[in-house]
Structure 1
Amino acid sequence: MSNVSTRSSYTARHLQVLEGLEAVRKRPGMYIGSTDSRGLMHCVWEIIDNGVDEAIGGYATTIEVILHDDDSVEVRDDGRGIPVDEVEGLGLSGVEVVYTKLHAGGKFGGGSYAASGGLHGVGASVVNALSARVDVEVDRGGKTHAMSFRRGEPGEFRDKGEPTPEATFTPFTSSSRLRSFGRIAKKKTGTRVRFWPDRQIFPETEQFSFSNITERARQTSFLVPGLTLIVEDRRGGDPVREEHRHDGGVVDFVDFLSHDSPVTNTWRLRETRTFTETVQQLDRSGRLKPKDVERHCTVDIALRWGNGFDTFVRSFVNIIATPKGGTHIQGFENGLVKTLRKAIDTNARRLKYSAKDPKIEKDDILAGLTAVVTVSLEEPQFEGQTKEVLGTSQVRAIVSGVVEDQLTALLTSSKRDAKLQSTQLMEKIVGEMRARVSARMHKEISRRKNALESSALPAKLADCRTKSVEESELFIVEGDSALGTAKLARSSEFQALLPIRGKILNVQKASPADILKNAECSSIIQVIGAGSGRTFDLDAARYGKIILMTDADVDGAHIRGLLLTLFFRYMRPLVEAGRVYAAVPPLFRLDINPKGRRKREIQYIYSEAELARTLAKLEKQGRTYKEPIQRYKGLGEMDADQLSETTMDPKHRTLRRIQIADEDALMTAERIFELLMGSEVAPRKEFIVAGAGHVSQDQIDA
């Protein structure tokens, strides 16, 4: 703030303005949540949301956000522009009122905004109070009007070149003035706000995040169809620019968020309903009196279920994200649970669901759901200025009612496609319930047993002796023939063996209930002991490494693919933690004859290309080898010493770790698993046909 001598020269009018903003500077956390990067970014959201409110009202089509290299952010919009005329009773321009007075603005029922993200009227003024400098320019009435502020105080900067908070600042004393300059087209309107965060409030280490802003811009472009949002980063090096515009809506947003294959189409539930709210309003004498007013609440929801078990629900109130939910999410979940429980009870016989079965829970219904829930209403009540939780109680019943009515209509539709999707959805939910119960039972019986307890683990499991999870390894072995050799080759102290018979179930196309009925899948889930799907608990896993040991042929690769599908779809935390591996057994055993002082050598070769290189090298050295070269078509062809040396002994073996590097890799993996293992045959056929020309007939092990 200004020093004491400067402050003493303020008029009473300005002392009143600063009094409100002083509270913001003393308690910034009350208004922006924190003074770390989250609070810093919240200041950006407050200014951007003002432009978005103009777009919602149909007055703006473009918003541009620029990150300058001098630690400032500029937000431009082509809306109506902040009013520049004098506010009645205050003697101040609209710009100064908006940026210096708390609880002032056009979002308090004055008819400027039908629905707005701003409620408390403190957004712009709070940003002003917490900024070392704010420059505001407004295009209205054929002119550009401007005003600058220093930590909430209006005045003038004397810049020598580029604007900077360090420039000489002269505060207004007797009166404020809005500068006007230039001539522009009378129809041209808009607002430009540039602010420098006050480093007395925000630590120097906290910086604006380009990725967070672009993510917010993309999100907003889905929620406000037709709005163009441009984000440009001019900090160091070449500028980076991203532009986002989506003319769809929440349906496109759900399709963007969804990664798994669909069980239902993306359904849209939309309706406007009214409710009565008691508010405090000023009467003619200036006193607050309660008054009942009629509000309109527009509910717009897009949702779809996929074959996964993760739940992605994004919620918004007047385009403002509410990550912690609120009454609209409570109503949405209540409506879902009530409607789907009723639908399942109605179709109980067809679904083989009886009164003896456990009750359908909310988690069973939410599994695999991707949804965007938006509500639009006048003066929404949020819990705190950060607007993370909606508190308007009447919204709960409205959203619940819209979901019940419209989802019931979809589930009871007589159209053939709608009937099929409805049946698939109810079967999935019942399957999730049964999978939850089965997984809990498996988890309870799969704890490690001590010497005094009887083991309920599968009899075919050859367990290890160590109690240390970090040191233990579980080899999932293809076939009983390889199991016998592997038992002799392993170290029983820390290596466990679980044989599987042939090719397991393709879980990409199966329901959770079918998976748990399958003997091989059920045994794997039971032996690992951490559950499956959304109930999976990584800390409960009984082994530090899960190693898939299959033959080095086409069938072995197929079995490995099926196993990886099971882990990726139902035990993904194991993959994300890097605890799933694929053993790399050799393809060839090369017995090299002795020559001169060189003794007989045994060399293991892992690929055709490596074999060709090795043989060429031996030929140059004039060395010979025993023919025919032994080719391992299966693990059972090795003796125990060979299997131990090449595939199981940690000192000599090669393992391939299965990992998901980042979100892009996760999305790629989702697409690949769906392409290769999913229900849609046509894309897989196209993939095979397109790649057929790259496969040599000699490589096909048939």
Structure 2
Amino acid sequence: MQSPKNVPHTNRDYEAKNLLVLEGLEAVRKRPAMYIGSTDTRGLMHCLWEIIDNSVDEALSGFGETIEITLGQDGSVTVVDEARGIPVDKEPRTGLSGVEVVYTKLHAGGKFGNSSYNATGGLHGVGASVVNALSSRLDVEVDRNGATWAMSFRRGVPGVFDGDGPEAPFTPQGGLRKMGKVAKGKTGTRVRYWTDQQIFLKDAQLSLQHLLDRARQTSFLVPGLKIVVNDNRTAERTSEEFQHVGGITEFADYLAPDAPLTEVLRLQGRDKFTETVPMLDASGSMTATDVERDLEVDIAVRWGTSYDTVLKSFVNIISTPKGGTHVSGFERGLLKAFTKSLEGTRGILKNGDEIIRDDCLEGLTTVITVRLAEPQFEGQTKEVLGTPPVQRLVAKVVEEELGAWLTSSKAAVKPIARTLMEKVVAAGRTRMQARAHKENQRRKNALESSTLPAKLKDCRSADGERSELFIVEGDSALGTANVARNSEFQALLPIRGKILNVQRASVGDMLKNAECASIIQVLGAGSGRSFDLDNARYGKVIFMADADSDGAHIRCLLATLFFRYMRPLVEAGRVFSAVPPLHRFELINPKRGMEKYLYTYSDAEYQRKAAELTKKGVNFKEPQRYKGLGEMDAHQLAETTMDPRHRMLRRLTVDDAAEAEAVFEMLMGNDVAPRKEFIVRGAYTLESDRIDV
């Protein structure tokens, strides 16, 4: 490798004069893909959506009943609405008219607070100005205050064109022009623009089909809004009109691929939640402020005779194809509503029947819409809603509204609701039968093709979803765990001490290691790129080690093995760590309603519990501190660590794979320096009494 002094220099000049400062809309033209995603057909359509969504946001707020979109033969696009019109008065800080601010200033608009809009599709205030910057010509006319006001732009620069089209002579000139009078109550905005051929690819074309699909979808989401799409690009000249008074009820019927089992049900509700957001205070500092938000939930559900699920979700008018907190809340509420209703209905559930989310979704067509101010999205594309309280509130609405319908005593509803519940239970039975058959075949093939480790204490159940594999530290704890487990669905695999650190070892060394090989063989799903989650023989994998530093190290080594070579199992949320207790209190003559034995799981909890018992005057023997799993008898281990009814598990999750990879590399990798720095940095925050010596 060349030393720095030997590297050739092509240009040694690097002064302030070499820095490029992009002002105003220059940045948009320099890097258009940052704002519209690309400069092909998708970018063209994005520009059109930005202009249309401004008009839709007005309709969403109750202003304007018609939007007309025209694709011109000359390459222009015109969007006309009958809403309030863009403000034409002066904006105090810039001294410019509202129209000029909206079309020339990035991050300017009326959607940042709660003053003009409550729930909108636009959030960042860059839509109209970006389209302006990427247009060879843009004309805007506003009817407001009894007059028509006009302004034109060339690639974002305000001015006046002498003629029609982008090639007409242009004179730079700021300010609004008053074009004439209109009726005092008439308001609206007309935007006509030509996209800049210097920016977009030559083969980029507006897609009429995408425009029609989006117009139809929007007309469903904003009931009563009429959207007219005119295509004048050819001599045939076509026009289509969309208007749906029924809203998402009609949308669900339109999307449904099968014959109906139920009518379309509307699950609606309103609620409030408090959100902490950073806001500028009087001194210009960002301060965490509690803001009360309104949430509107409106969901259309309809079950059909088929097995496919059609789910569309929206926040305000924004499509969220990858879901988010509103979809997870819907699914949670759906499952709770069916579970409670089935428990209260005789003759449907039989012994052994159980339902999961997928059973409830079978044959369902649903449109999920929520409206709230300033929603939080994960990422720039707005495909996933991230506002946490939405999940809880949506689940509550769905559980209450759907539960009320399922348990209704009305003559017209009761038989349909029962038929639907029977369909859901039948789906669960079919799923369990299919899984049982698959598991039987899988276990049969595994036993025929290879011999499982002799130390494995397998379970009797063939249900891979219900079964659990406990990876137990040491043979000493194995005997107690073997008595404590439920052998119907709990399997045990002991490991000897600390397994290989696979972060440092090669794949070959990992496969040669007896403990690692046993774990991979028992799970039966392979490892690395060949790992197949569907072939996993157990629904849960649980690390069970002593609650000491050695146990923590073993759990870390196991987590490294699973993250590196069986990551889909971790990403699916099927890997857990058991949490055994640290202390046991034995009460002397406990009061009525009190257990004889109490367990605590940390030193802080132990101190609180001891103080609480002393304050209540409850006598207890010297608390026992467990140094390992082997010190518990089978009853204690089952009650505290293995019985699903009482135990506590910690789920291993991967929210950010890249960050998790970096943490594993730092803690378990070959490079010592970052790990040493991490330990030294953390030493100053560690309390000395927490060190187990």
Are residue 299 (structure 1) and residue 300 (structure 2) matched?
A: no
Name 2:220's counterpart in structure 1: 222
AA partner of residue 233 (structure 1): D
Deviations 1:465-496 (A, max 9, x none): xxxxxxxxxxxxxxxxxxxxxxxxxxxxxxxx
Shift of the 139–339 alpha-carbon distance from structure 1 to 2, 3 Å rule, reads same
Once residues 314 and 440 of structure 1 are traced to their aligned partners in structure 2, the CA distance between those partners, rounded to angstroms, is 29
Q: Residue 391 and residue 132 in structure 1: after superposition, are their counterparts in 2 closer, same or farther (change >3 A)?
A: farther
Match of 2:165 among 163, 166, 189: 163
* 1:282/1:289 contact within 8 Å kept: yes
Q: 1:380 aligns with which of 369, 375, 386?
A: 375
Q: Secondary structure at the match of 2:211?
A: helix
Asked if 1:364 corresponds to 2:359, the answer is: yes
Residue identity matched to 2:64: A
Structure 1 residues 185, 406: CA separation in 2 closer, same or farther (over 3 Å shift)?
same
Alignment equivalent of 2:407, drawn from 412, 432, 448? 412
The AA in structure 2 aligned to 1:241 is S
Find 2:149's aligned residue among 145, 149, 153: 145
Q: What's the CA shift for 1:98? A: 0.8
Alignment of 1:513-552 (within 5 A): none
> Displacement of 1:94 after TM fit?
0.5
Structure 1 residues 330 and 32: CA distance shift in structure 2, 3 A: farther
Alpha-carbon offset, residue 438 of structure 1: 4.1
Contact persistence 1:31–1:384 (CA under 8 A)? no
Change (3 A) 1:405 1:252: same
Pick the aligned partner of 1:28 from 26, 32, 39.
32
CA displacement, residues 643-687 of structure 1 (integer Å, 9 cap, x when unaligned)? xxxxxxxxxxxxxxxxxxxxxxxxxxxxxxxxxxxxxxxxxxxxx
* Residue 243 (structure 1) aligns with: 241
State yes or no: 1:47 paired with 2:51.
Answer: yes
**Corresponding position of 1:134:** 138
The answer to whether the Cα contact below 8 Å between 2:258 and 2:305 also exists between their aligned partners in 1 is yes
- Say whether 1:58 aligns with 2:58: no
Asked if structure 2 preserves the Cα contact closer than 8 Å seen for 1:141 and 1:186, the reply is: yes
State the AA in 2 paired with 1:267. L
Inter-partner Cα distance in structure 1 for 2:227 and 2:428: 43
1:351 to 345, 348, 353: 348
Residue 315 of structure 1 contacts residue 373 of structure 1 at CA under 8 Å; is this kept in 2?
yes
Whole-Å separation in 1 of the counterparts to 2:381 and 2:160: 31
**Corresponding residue to 1:180 among 178, 181, 193:** 178
**Contact 2:342–2:349, Cα closer than 8 Å, also in 1:** no
Cα distance, 1:386 vs. partner?
Answer: 3.7
Corresponding residue number in structure 2 for 1:342:
340
Q: Indicate how the Cα distance of structure 1 residues 420 and 140 shifts in structure 2: closer, same or farther if over 3 A, else same.
A: same
Q: TM-score, normalised by structure 1?
A: 0.57
Give per-residue Cα distances to partners, 1:124-172, cap 9 Å, x unaligned: 122222222221111112221111222222223332xx322x3333334
Residues 77-476 of structure 1 aligned to structure 2 (within 5 Å): 77-159=81-163, 162-164=164-166, 166-172=167-173, 176-347=174-345, 350-354=347-351, 356-357=352-353, 359-439=354-434
Partner letter of residue 363 of structure 2?
A: G
- How far apart, CA to CA, are the structure 1 residues paired with 2:358 and 2:193? 45
State the Cα distance separating 1:119 from its structure 2 match.
1.1
Alignment of 1:576-595 (within 5 A): none
How far apart in 2 are the matches of 1:294 and 1:243? 39
Please list the CA deviations of residues 347-392 of structure 1 after superposition, one character each: whole Å capped at 9, or x if unmatched. 4x612432x34x4232221111011111111122223454322222
Q: Give the AA of the match of 1:95.
A: V
How far has the Cα of 1:440 moved from its partner?
5.2
Secondary structure, counterpart of 1:392 in structure 2: coil
Query: Counterpart of 1:205 in structure 2: which amino acid?
Result: D
Q: Which has the higher contact order (CA 8 A, sep 6+)?
A: 1
Matched residues in 2 for 1:427 and 1:25: separation? 59
Distance in 1, matches of 2:48 and 2:72, equals 13
Measured after TM superposition, the shift of residue 191 of structure 1 is 0.4
CA contact (8 A) 1:382 1:388 kept: yes
Q: Deviations over 1:66-97 (max 9, x none)?
A: 01122221111000100011101111111111
CA RMSD, Structure 1 to Structure 2 (Å): 2.6
Q: 1:20 to 1:360 in 2, by over 3 A?
A: farther
Cα distance in 1 for residues equivalent to 2:39 and 2:378 = 19
Please list every run of 5 or more consecutive structure 2 residues that lacks an aligned counterpart in the other structure.
Answer: 1-19, 443-447, 449-693
8 Å CA contact 2:137, 2:165 repeated in 1: no
Identity %: 60
**Contact 2:316 2:370 (8 Å CA) reproduced:** yes
Aligned AA (2:78): E
Q: Give the secondary-structure state (helix, strand or coil) at the position aligned to 1:80.
A: coil
Contact 1:42 1:386 in 2 (8 A): no
Query: Could you state the TM-score of these two structures normalised by the residue count of structure 2?
Result: 0.58
Give 3-state SS (helix, strand or coil) of 1:230's partner: strand
Distance in 2 separating the partners of 1:43 and 1:191: 17
Whether contact under 8 Å (2:223, 2:245) holds in the other structure is: yes
User: Match for 1:351: what amino acid?
Assistant: I
CA deviations 1:175-206 (Å, max 9, x no partner) are x2111112211211110111222233321212
The one-letter amino acid paired with 2:28 is: V
Contact 1:143/1:182, CA 8 A, preserved across alignment? yes
8 Å contact from structure 2 (residues 114, 373) kept in 1: no
Query: CA offset at residue 19 of structure 1?
Result: 2.0
Aligned mates of 1:439, 1:25 — CA distance in 2: 57
Q: Distance in 2 between matches of 1:151 and 1:387?
A: 27
CA deviations over 1:2-23 (Å, ceiling 9, x no partner) = xxxxxxxxxxxxx99x624333
The one-letter code sitting in structure 1 at the alignment partner of 2:169 is T
SS of 1:315's partner is strand
